[in-house]
Amino acid sequence: MADGIYVSMCGAVARQEQLDAVADNLANAQTRGFKASRPAFEAFLPAAGGYDKSYPASVSTALDLRPGQTTTTGNPLDVLPEDGAFLAVQTRGGAVAYTRDGRIELDADRRLVVGGNAVLSRGGQAIVVPAEYVPEVDANGQVRARLHGPASGRQEEIVLGEIATFQLAGPVERIGASLLRPGAGGQATLVDDGRIRAGEVELGNATGLESAVAMIAAQRSFEASMQAIQTYRRLDERAVEVGRVR
């Protein structure tokens, strides 16, 4: 009965990994720009014959880059790159990361930032807004700024730069709740004519309902595997009792 215990144990471990991924998706259902984890499973035959049984395993967990639901905010600095593109940001450690979280703010140095990370222009530079100017983003990704109030003799509107958008291809890694970077063999390609919708942001692409249903299904499968382990253990104990010399 040992083989049955091992098969059930492999199934329980695989479902536990699925539960971890689904729990993370559920917790971040309302996180702006969050990309869900999708585990992949595979069944393996034993190395030394025994083709009447297979051993399940969670072989990898990939990130689902499909766009999530959107919500309208009316904030001129909330942006949503079209066609599934990503904003490029420079993290506090100096690395470049990519995000669909479009809630842009001004930091203490008057840089445009998302979650404290500087939003990068097409030239790879942070975009800085001069004092007394109020920024906004147009559909072409250009950041324009207007003087707050009348100022005689000064230019009323200036263009500060164009927000860069990128398409991610191949494997990607999560380095934050909504921050990604290309993995081994992955790449980020600058979009030539990226379009941006202002006043909208994207939620996570795993809804609370979807994640809750997936969690219930995974939990039931995990419990079934654990019950199978207990059943095989009882059968083993019974076999020992039957074969014991009295």
Please say if the pLDDT value at position 56 is more than 70. Answer: no
Quickly state the pLDDT bin for 177 (edges 50, 70, 90).
Answer: confident
| SS3 label, residue 237 | helix
Helix and strand numbers (H, E) in the chain are 2, 18
Instruction: Encode pLDDT of 93-138 as tens digits.
Output: 899 999 999 999 999 999 999 999 999 999 999 999 999 899 999 9
Structure tokens given for 167: 């398409």
Please say if the pLDDT value at position 18 is more than 60. Answer: yes
Please say if the pLDDT value at position 11 is more than 90. Answer: no
The strand pairing partners of 41, in sequence order, are 58
Q: What is the pLDDT of residue 236?
A: 66
DSSP summary character for residue 200: E
CB atoms within 10 A of CB 119: 25
Contact present, 197 and 79 (Cβ < 8 Å): yes
Largest separation between any pair of C-alpha atoms in the chain? 108
C-alpha to C-alpha distances, 147 to 1, 141, 157, nearest whole angstrom: 78, 20, 7
Quickly state the pLDDT bin for 48 (edges 50, 70, 90).
Answer: low
C-alpha to C-alpha distances, 191 to 1, 158, 182, 201, 216, nearest whole angstrom: 58, 24, 16, 19, 40
Q: What is the pLDDT of residue 99?
A: 97
Please say if the pLDDT value at position 154 is more than 90. Answer: no
Average predicted confidence (pLDDT) for the chain: 84
Which has more confidence, 112 or 240? Answer: 112
Please say if the pLDDT value at position 33 is more than 70. Answer: yes
Q: Residue range 129-154: average pLDDT?
A: 83
Q: Which residue is it, tokens 């909504």?
A: 178
Q: What is the pLDDT of residue 208?
A: 78
Whole-angstrom Cα distance, residue 67 to residue 83? 8
**Residues with Cβ < 8 Å from 178, sequence gap 6 or more?**
31, 32, 33, 34, 35, 99, 100, 101, 115
Instruction: Encode pLDDT of 189-236 as tens digits.
Output: 999 988 999 999 999 888 878 878 888 888 888 788 788 778 777 776
Quickly state the pLDDT bin for 57 (edges 50, 70, 90).
Answer: low
Which has more confidence, 55 or 30? Answer: 30
Please say if the pLDDT value at position 144 is more than 90. Answer: yes
The strand pairing partners of 190, in sequence order, are 166
